[in-house]
Amino acid sequence: MIREEFDNYCSSLTSVTHVVQWGGASVWKVGGKIFAICSHWGTGEQQKISFKCSDLSYHILCELPDITPAPYLARAKWVQIKTADAMNDDDIQDYIKTAYQIICRKLTRAKRKELNL
């Protein structure tokens, strides 16, 4: 999944906001809380996608090749996909949607109502 596809998919989710920060990273939020990032962290030009996941998914995904705990976010159960071959686009979209849902559930009832979630 290239950055444009990542951004197009994230923008299709309800009540999301997008910012470019941290040296050009594409950061997607819902209710002011981040659920997915596409960036060029570390050395090289390979883009990397990071997202929040459940405890179980975090442990499973971190065992797969080219998927690691996300820098600075691993303690919050985030993973980073390091290569384009590590996961297919459909699976990435499913995990991003799950990340979005996890963050939505953490929002207050008032915030969810305000955002029509």
CA atoms of 45 and 12, how far apart (whole Å) = 26
Position 22: which residue type? W
How distant is the alpha carbon of residue 66 from its chain centre?
A: 16
- For the entire predicted model, the pTM comes to 0.91
Kindly report, residue by residue over 7-21, the tens digit of the pLDDT: 999 999 999 999 999
Mean pLDDT lowest for which of 39-48, 59-68, 70-79, 101-110?
Answer: 39-48
Annotated domain spans of the chain: 3-114
Banded model confidence at residue 112, pLDDT cuts 50, 70, 90: very high
DSSP 76: G
Distances (CA, A) of 25 to 28, 29, 65, 106, 116: 10, 13, 23, 23, 27
Residue 78 has pLDDT above 90, yes or no: yes
CA atoms of 10 and 60, how far apart (whole Å) = 23
DSSP 70: P
For 106, the token pair is 């953490």
- Which CATH architecture does the domain made up of 3-114 adopt? Alpha-Beta Complex (3.90)
pLDDT value of position 42: 52
